[in-house]
């Protein structure tokens, strides 16, 4: 699903209001330091209604966002410190959504979550390509275990939609392989799964963790390889069930967005 500024405007307008920002105003700052506009845990996501915003890292410009564009999504979805400074290059009109407003907008326009996921996954694929080409995708001894969902809550969400029975994998068995075609995503019910790209471990998933969703969103080859690090039980979720969950449950959509954004943030930090 390609990005559509008109759909994005409808999404942001459903829960937020336009705010005028003067040229040279700092909208948010790298690492959350100093003064910033719209400050509310500095974790808002922004839509540019008019004008242009420059993005800077270490005071050096690396990108700009113009009318119809979105910025600030990684910190908004992961609640992590800002990785860049956003500066109004012209007088601008922005629509900002905080956590609650984002959830409200997703409840009204659940289909937008798929568009945002697609945008993040495209960036994820590009980041992996850059890291691989530069030889920067190196193994780290400690990769924290992550879980997108509370295991019990995940069971409640998929019940009735993911009707396939759980699948059991023994320790050391490959679950999916990088570059293969996708038919399912998986949620970890018990045990632990290790995710690797180019043979380098990038993530460990415990109960409540979800993986394989990227290929379901854009129907492209798998981004990574998944291996059972311990004996584990997985709940398979088909693409129709995944799409239904995204559209029917703002909570599921928000959690999946956060999971993808966290992976992108983690890999982008290695560039």
Burial of 140 (0-12, 13-18, 19+ CB in 10 A): exposed
**Which is it for strands 184-190 and 145-146: parallel, antiparallel or unpaired?**
unpaired
Q: Which long-range contacts (CB under 8 A, 24 or more apart) does 130-134 make?
A: 130/271, 131/267, 131/270, 131/271, 132/197, 132/198, 134/271
* 134 and 233 both lie in a single domain: yes
Instruction: Identify the CA nearest to 89 among candidates 54, 60, 58.
Output: 54
* 124 and 258 both lie in a single domain: yes
Last residue of a domain, one of 106, 125, 160: 106
| pLDDT recorded at residue 172 | 97
* 92 and 195 both lie in a single domain: no
Whole-angstrom Cα distance, residue 86 to residue 14? 24
* 68 and 118 both lie in a single domain: no
Q: Residue holding tokens 């998933």? A: 205
* 94 and 176 both lie in a single domain: no
Q: Residue holding tokens 């948010």? A: 28
Last residue of a domain, one of 82, 106, 130: 106
* 51 and 176 both lie in a single domain: no
* 138 and 212 both lie in a single domain: yes
The helix/strand count (H/E) of the chain reads as: 8, 17
> What CATH number is given to the structural domain containing 193?
2.60.120.10
Show the domain range for 176: 110-268
| pLDDT recorded at residue 93 | 98
CB of 118 closer than 8 Å to CB of 1: yes
What kind and span of H or E run contains 202? strand 200-205
Q: Please, which residues bridge with residue 88 across strands?
A: 53
| pLDDT recorded at residue 146 | 67
Domain count, the chain: 2
Last residue of a domain, one of 63, 85, 106: 106
* 100 and 183 both lie in a single domain: no
* 125 and 141 both lie in a single domain: yes
* 184 and 83 both lie in a single domain: no
* 19 and 91 both lie in a single domain: yes
Q: What is the pLDDT along the chain (271 residues), one digit of tens a residue?
A: 678 999 999 999 999 999 999 999 999 998 864 444 544 445 899 999 999 999 998 889 989 999 999 999 988 898 788 888 999 999 999 999 998 899 899 989 988 999 999 999 998 999 988 888 888 876 654 455 667 777 777 777 777 666 778 899 999 999 999 999 888 999 999 999 999 988 888 889 999 889 999 888 888 889 899 999 999 999 999 888 888 888 888 888 888 998 899 888 888 877 6
* 136 and 263 both lie in a single domain: yes
């Amino acid at each position: 699903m390609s990005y559509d500024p008109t759909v994005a405007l409808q999404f942001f307008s459903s829960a937020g209001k336009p705010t005028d920002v003067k040229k040279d105003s700092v909208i948010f700052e790298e690492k959350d330091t100093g003064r910033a506009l719209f400050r509310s845990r500095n974790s808002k996501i922004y839509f540019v209604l008019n004008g242009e915003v420059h993005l800077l890292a270490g005071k050096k410009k690396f990108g700009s966002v113009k009318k119809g564009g979105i910025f600030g999504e990684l910190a908004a979805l992961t609640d992590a410190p800002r990785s860049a400074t956003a500066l109004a290059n012209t007088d601008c009109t922005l629509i900002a959504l905080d956590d609650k407003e984002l959830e409200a907008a997703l409840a009204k326009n659940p289909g937008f979550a798929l568009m945002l996921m697609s945008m993040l996954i495209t960036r994820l694929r590009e980041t992996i390509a850059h890291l691989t080409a530069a030889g920067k995708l190196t193994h780290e001894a400690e990769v924290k275990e992550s879980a997108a969902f509370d295991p019990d809550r995940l069971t409640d969400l998929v019940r009735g939609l993911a009707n396939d029975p759980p699948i059991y994998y023994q320790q050391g068995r490959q679950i999916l392989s990088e570059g293969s075609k996708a038919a399912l995503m998986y949620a970890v019910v018990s045990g632990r799964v290790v995710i690797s790209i180019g043979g380098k471990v990038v993530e460990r998933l415990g109960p409540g963790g979800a993986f394989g969703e990227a290929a379901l969103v854009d129907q492209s080859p798998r981004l990574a390889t998944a291996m059972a690090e311990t004996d584990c039980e997985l709940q398979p979720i088909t693409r129709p069930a995944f799409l239904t969950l995204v559209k029917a449950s703002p909570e599921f959509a928000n959690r999946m967005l956060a999971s993808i954004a966290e992976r992108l943030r983690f890999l982008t930090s290695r560039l």
